[in-house]
Chain A
């Protein structure tokens, strides 16, 4: 049927609309390329079969459409008109949904689950991902069946074209587009109306071209594909209006050949439009003629650049041409040519349809309308996001995208594809539009938005993009071809540990020249990834070239085995795990003990950075249970198996004189480690401890059910050799000063006082009877066995010491109940870092729909009977006769994201409530008790910390060093051990008169250990969990909760290791073998 006049058209549309029943229940199934890849076809056949077999065809309609944007959740079903959304379905779920829909019901267990409170959200528009979007273009994909022009017509399609044609003057449409303020969505943001006006002004007579650029080539960007697949007519209509407005005679859609479905849908759409008389000669019976041809690209990224695109259409080699002349003057075959992007075209019918004024009201002043972004990377929800211009990055990343995956911290967003730039998290308040992005060194590009977290190395990212551009540069102009090659070469050097500061200088110089002197957009923006990362993440580059470290654990030669590099004391877990597998437990113990003076303690309380960075965990599996394996070794090998290597070295001290000795204040892990390693260097050490026995926080803070006292005592005692003198009960500031220590003849002083002072709540009544700080509470119990808990105990805080205090209180006989109060949600409790690291285990498996975040440590406490109240803050402590009576709390809501990347708790006015308590423990943080140092010539930070050189641990006072919690604030045991170990080295160098700073380098694995021969059975093995006491038994005893794993379990676990070391040691083994054979 051909429509021969504008009136014909309107009659036809009216008849189509009359056929439609808007109230009929319709199941909309997106089946673009993304949907099909995730199994939409099977779902569709199940749905269709169910509808047919149950005879529901008149009650339940099925509509197969293009992608709706939430590709990650496909295959999905959207029920219209009720707007119920079912994400991530299995094919068999289709039948249940059909039957429920026929009854007008919803299938509750298949709905979207809210990530905060775990309740189901039925309607699509209430799901956070969709809630704040403004889906002008994408929502049409839900209503239109791509292969059926009638559905587009019924949705108002081609109405705007007719509206423009009725005006009988092309100028009207042109003026509308100009007034709308639409800017080209292809990347540079050139005002579309202005471009059209320029085309309209070109001389007519020889023909003019109007081109749709659908050569979408940015990695990770697919918005054009989804528009072409889901709603090809909107692009065709846009081009028709454009042609009418500018007098263009020929239309071309240049589409990349890698989009077969889009090409298919487009060709069908063109055919249907021609058949209806909407395309071709005398459109709808008017004098306006225009036809569109589809040209498939030949697979070059640069053909997205307009001059290269033109040459490609002409059948020549796809490479740019120096402008001027501009395509608008001399384009395809020398004729005036205007090129616009797919999304720009899809916006035209919207502008004409709703009017320029209304359109211009969306977005910001100079940037009207909405923009589709493809949100991908390290973010909870990925997909196509359509947002009004001027929305902030924060809103897109956190509100729509749902923030970081698991416990990751988002550090940057890369916009605009390979030639875009990286925007750091500190600029996330930036309102996105063409101008603001350009100002921060990025570009809008086609709208790609790649989110990066701490596991992303910015140098590596720059290298990736430059590598892409190096391969895609056409090679015509010298600075782009050679410049990208040379940039890649420099970046490759940096990521492989061959970088120098000169590399950075040259890289920056080169990048600026490339930006300045290349021929086309590809080259001019090729330097952006380098320049923007250098601008915002220079420290990462410097870490690579100066310290030889890649903090994201990405660059292999700067990481080595990530478990070892992650360990603050440089323990090589890969090595002892391999030795366990080979049955060499004693050798394994020696490897552990060599690096760590307190192996048994660490095997119980280490926070395991190693597991967090285990490559098995980072690549989708569960990390190796390294700490459990360490426990397995330390429980089975006696400390005597290890003989420390004592350094016999010619000292600078003259013969006969003893080398200068060292005084160490504090005998926690930092002090002990420093004493041990200084003693191994042959130095005399005096250890000074304020309490009655050494151990510091190990003894005062960590409860015995986590670290049995005999284990800690034995290991501490083993370190105290003949070089070390211990003086207990001596407190710095009270009994002794730093000057006294120097007067005693010590050559250097190492301060390792720890953080033994609690932060106060800052609420009235903290001095009441029954209110304690967690430090006091734990010390009283751990050191003196005093049980301070009475009746109902409340604990405020969410850190380790809060949970420790809760669990200790629970075990005390005089306690009835324990309640933990925390101001944010459970999954934001910092305590979790200490116990089993759910971040990796859960974080990786924590799919977008799984809301309950399980945290083992807090869970362990909850199992034992600790009640947990989240989202509350205390406002007042209530008293009765000078005794604590209870507290008043206020409930919180989560507000904006703060500097720590977490959402800020915001009190809800009027939600105050009362909790009756007999004991209150405040555990909101600790600080060093360092006030006495002020008078000893050292300056103290506001939070009590002492500033030191992070590499040498030297303080501002000569000969005085400091480490551990005193310098970092509350930190881990292994962190303190590392500080002590490193400080020992620099103190020793200082006393020899050598420069203290030593070159930092990553220790790459250097010992070849043959890998085990794995069988199929090894594939099935999952991570072991150490045996624990049943919760009932735990409640009443202080016996250790965790115990050693069984040998067969440990062996199985050790066999799971991916053995990252082999990457470095295989070559060594081969060389050794070769030389062995020669001999």
Chain B
């Protein structure tokens, strides 16, 4: 067993557990977007950052990838952590305002506005779908392409992939409430599962489960052009 301190509480977990697992086991919540049990840790969304160490040597690490070490001190909700988390949520809201998951997280952290130029991306590149496809569905139909601001997820050369079994796993795990394929272009769609879904909120139809506590509702600001 590994002994460590989380938020002042002395705890012990099995060897090989991550800090995130340890904290959650002891009932200390850490928000995540790119983490999912059953998929390998990835550390991309940075929402699960916690502070470890003391004094000037204290540093921020992603709890989903950091292994629980003997004698480690972890703070999951220090000022520094909360400040960072709020900024990350603000950035997420600025990019993907229509995501119910992000809205809920933001609301829970008391982030009620974002100060950047509003964008309407449909992806936060958390990579859950890619890992789902590869690790659980053993398909590897989709993957990351390009770098930096051009980075996106898709099939090779944007062509329908023979590997894809139209399982819909990628949609199931997506926190951005969007689909991994362009459902308007049925030729190249990955799975076509979305054909059965109504496009979200475009006509400001009642869409109760997408509403959030923010005013005005950013979910309704999806680009219509």
Contact with A along B103-123 (1 / 0, CB 8 A): 000000000000111000000
When C-beta atoms are compared, the residue in chain A nearest to B62 turns out to be A322
Query: Given that A513-B83, A516-B60, A516-B84 are contacting pairs, would A475 and B91 also be in contact in the complex, using a CB cutoff of 8 Å?
Result: no
Q: Tell me the bound Cα distance from A474 to B150 in angstroms.
A: 9
Within 8 A of B (CB), among A481-527: 481-486, 489, 502, 506, 509-510, 512-513, 516-519
| Interface status of A471 (Cβ within 8 A of chain B) | yes
When C-beta atoms are compared, the residue in chain B nearest to A493 turns out to be B117
Find chain A residues with CB under 8 A from B91 CB: 478-479, 482-483, 486, 510
Q: Tell me the bound Cα distance from A258 to B162 in angstroms.
A: 36
Give the B-binding residues of A (Cβ under 8 A): 300, 302, 317, 319, 322, 324, 470-479, 481-486, 489, 502, 506, 509-510, 512-513, 516-519
Q: Tell me the bound Cα distance from A1044 to B55 in angstroms.
A: 72
Query: Given that A517-B49, A517-B84 are contacting pairs, would A477 and B43 also be in contact in the complex, using a CB cutoff of 8 Å?
Result: yes
Query: Given that A324-B67, A478-B45, A517-B46 are contacting pairs, would A470 and B88 also be in contact in the complex, using a CB cutoff of 8 Å?
Result: no
**Across the A-B interface, the 10 shortest Cβ-Cβ residue pairs:** A475-B151, A322-B43, A513-B87, A322-B65, A473-B148, A517-B46, A513-B84, A479-B46, A516-B60, A517-B84
Find chain B residues with CB under 8 A from A481 CB: 125, 148-149, 151
Find chain B residues with CB under 8 A from A472 CB: 147-148
When C-beta atoms are compared, the residue in chain B nearest to A502 turns out to be B115
Query: Given that A517-B49, A519-B43 are contacting pairs, would A324 and B88 also be in contact in the complex, using a CB cutoff of 8 Å?
Result: no
Q: Determine whether the beta carbon of A317 is less than 8 Å from that of B88.
A: no
Q: Tell me the bound Cα distance from A708 to B102 in angstroms.
A: 75
Q: Determine whether the beta carbon of B124 is less than 8 Å from that of A478.
A: yes
Q: By CB atoms of chain A within 10 A, which of B87, B115, B117, B146 has the most?
A: B87
| Interface status of B95 (Cβ within 8 A of chain A) | yes
Q: Determine whether the beta carbon of B44 is less than 8 Å from that of A477.
A: yes
Pair count A-B, CB < 8 A: 91
State the Cβ distance, A505 to closest chain B Cβ, in Å. Answer: 9
Q: Determine whether the beta carbon of A300 is less than 8 Å from that of B88.
A: no
Q: By CB atoms of chain A within 10 A, which of B41, B94, B148 has the most?
A: B148
Contact with A along B41-80 (1 / 0, CB 8 A): 1111110010000000000101001110000000000001
Q: Determine whether the beta carbon of A475 is less than 8 Å from that of B146.
A: yes
| Interface status of B92 (Cβ within 8 A of chain A) | yes
Find chain A residues with CB under 8 A from B149 CB: 470-471, 473, 475, 481, 485
Question: Could you name 22 residue pairs across A and B whose Cβ atoms are closer than 8 Å?
Answer: A322-B42, A322-B62, A470-B149, A472-B148, A474-B147, A474-B148, A475-B144, A476-B151, A477-B43, A477-B45, A477-B46, A478-B126, A481-B148, A484-B148, A485-B149, A486-B94, A506-B115, A516-B49, A516-B84, A517-B46, A519-B44, A519-B62
Query: Given that A324-B66, A324-B67, A477-B44 are contacting pairs, would A516 and B80 also be in contact in the complex, using a CB cutoff of 8 Å?
Result: yes
Find chain B residues with CB under 8 A from A486 CB: 91, 94, 116
State the Cβ distance, A511 to closest chain B Cβ, in Å. Answer: 10
Q: Determine whether the beta carbon of A300 is less than 8 Å from that of B116.
A: no
Q: Determine whether the beta carbon of A474 is less than 8 Å from that of B151.
A: yes
Find chain A residues with CB under 8 A from B147 CB: 300, 302, 319, 472-475
Q: Tell me the bound Cα distance from A317 to B130 in angstroms.
A: 14
Find chain B residues with CB under 8 A from A510 CB: 87, 91
State the Cβ distance, B108 to closest chain A Cβ, in Å. Answer: 18
Q: Tell me the bound Cα distance from A816 to B112 in angstroms.
A: 83
Q: Tell me the bound Cα distance from A685 to B87 in angstroms.
A: 58
Find chain B residues with CB under 8 A from A485 CB: 149
Find chain B residues with CB under 8 A from A502 CB: 115
Q: Tell me the bound Cα distance from A513 to B46 in angstroms.
A: 11
Choose among A319, A478, A517 the residue that contacts B92 (Cβ–Cβ < 8 A): A478
Contact with A along B133-150 (1 / 0, CB 8 A): 000000000001011111
Find chain B residues with CB under 8 A from A482 CB: 91, 95
Q: Tell me the bound Cα distance from A573 to B39 in angstroms.
A: 67
Find chain B residues with CB under 8 A from A474 CB: 147-148, 151
Choose among B46, B80, B83, B146 the residue that contacts A518 (Cβ–Cβ < 8 A): B46
Q: Tell me the bound Cα distance from A187 to B115 in angstroms.
A: 34
State the Cβ distance, B106 to closest chain A Cβ, in Å. Answer: 14
Choose among B41, B46, B66, B148 the residue that contacts A475 (Cβ–Cβ < 8 A): B148
Q: Tell me the bound Cα distance from A1035 to B214 in angstroms.
A: 82
Q: Tell me the bound Cα distance from A513 to B95 in angstroms.
A: 17
When C-beta atoms are compared, the residue in chain B nearest to A300 turns out to be B147
* Given A475-B149, A502-B115, A509-B87, 13 other A-B residues pairs in contact with their CB atoms under 8 A: A324-B67, A471-B149, A474-B148, A474-B151, A475-B147, A477-B46, A478-B44, A478-B45, A478-B46, A483-B91, A485-B149, A516-B49, A516-B60
Q: Tell me the bound Cα distance from A479 to B43 in angstroms.
A: 11
Query: Given that A300-B147, A475-B148, A479-B91 are contacting pairs, would A489 and B84 also be in contact in the complex, using a CB cutoff of 8 Å?
Result: no
Find chain B residues with CB under 8 A from A517 CB: 46, 49, 60, 84, 88
Q: Tell me the bound Cα distance from A29 to B8 in angstroms.
A: 67
State the Cβ distance, B43 to closest chain A Cβ, in Å. Answer: 4
Choose among A302, A319, A473, A479 the residue that contacts B88 (Cβ–Cβ < 8 A): A479
Within 8 A of A (CB), among B25-51: 41-46, 49
State the Cβ distance, B165 to closest chain A Cβ, in Å. Answer: 24
When C-beta atoms are compared, the residue in chain B nearest to A514 turns out to be B87
State the Cβ distance, B21 to closest chain A Cβ, in Å. Answer: 15
Query: Given that A473-B147, A516-B60, A518-B46 are contacting pairs, would A478 and B88 also be in contact in the complex, using a CB cutoff of 8 Å?
Result: yes
State the Cβ distance, A419 to closest chain B Cβ, in Å. Answer: 15
Q: Tell me the bound Cα distance from A556 to B74 in angstroms.
A: 49
Q: Determine whether the beta carbon of B88 is less than 8 Å from that of A475.
A: no
Q: Tell me the bound Cα distance from A509 to B82 in angstroms.
A: 13
State the Cβ distance, A308 to closest chain B Cβ, in Å. Answer: 10
Q: By CB atoms of chain B within 10 A, which of A300, A482, A512 has the most?
A: A482
State the Cβ distance, B179 to closest chain A Cβ, in Å. Answer: 20
When C-beta atoms are compared, the residue in chain A nearest to B125 turns out to be A475
Q: By CB atoms of chain A within 10 A, which of B41, B95, B146 has the most?
A: B95
State the Cβ distance, A160 to closest chain B Cβ, in Å. Answer: 37
Find chain A residues with CB under 8 A from B87 CB: 509-510, 513
Q: Tell me the bound Cα distance from A517 to B144 in angstroms.
A: 22
Find chain B residues with CB under 8 A from A516 CB: 49, 60, 80, 84
Find chain A residues with CB under 8 A from B125 CB: 475-476, 478, 481
State the Cβ distance, A341 to closest chain B Cβ, in Å. Answer: 23
Find chain A residues with CB under 8 A from B62 CB: 322, 519
State the Cβ distance, A317 to closest chain B Cβ, in Å. Answer: 7
Q: By CB atoms of chain B within 10 A, which of A471, A478, A486, A509 has the most?
A: A478
Q: Tell me the bound Cα distance from A471 to B150 in angstroms.
A: 8
Q: Tell me the bound Cα distance from A476 to B42 in angstroms.
A: 9
Find chain A residues with CB under 8 A from B88 CB: 478-479, 513, 517
Find chain B residues with CB under 8 A from A512 CB: 83
Q: Tell me the bound Cα distance from A470 to B60 in angstroms.
A: 22
Find chain B residues with CB under 8 A from A470 CB: 148-149
Find chain A residues with CB under 8 A from B150 CB: 475
Find chain B residues with CB under 8 A from A509 CB: 87
Q: Tell me the bound Cα distance from A473 to B116 in angstroms.
A: 20
Find chain A residues with CB under 8 A from B127 CB: 476
When C-beta atoms are compared, the residue in chain B nearest to A488 turns out to be B149
State the Cβ distance, B55 to closest chain A Cβ, in Å. Answer: 16
State the Cβ distance, B208 to closest chain A Cβ, in Å. Answer: 28
Find chain A residues with CB under 8 A from B83 CB: 512-513
State the Cβ distance, B48 to closest chain A Cβ, in Å. Answer: 10
Q: Determine whether the beta carbon of A489 is less than 8 Å from that of B117.
A: yes
State the Cβ distance, B163 to closest chain A Cβ, in Å. Answer: 18
Q: Tell me the bound Cα distance from A472 to B149 in angstroms.
A: 9
Find chain B residues with CB under 8 A from A324 CB: 66-67
Find chain A residues with CB under 8 A from B115 CB: 502, 506
Find chain B residues with CB under 8 A from A489 CB: 116-117
State the Cβ distance, B89 to closest chain A Cβ, in Å. Answer: 11
State the Cβ distance, B29 to closest chain A Cβ, in Å. Answer: 18
Find chain A residues with CB under 8 A from B66 CB: 324
Q: Tell me the bound Cα distance from A683 to B49 in angstroms.
A: 67
Find chain A residues with CB under 8 A from B45 CB: 477-478
Find chain A residues with CB under 8 A from B94 CB: 486
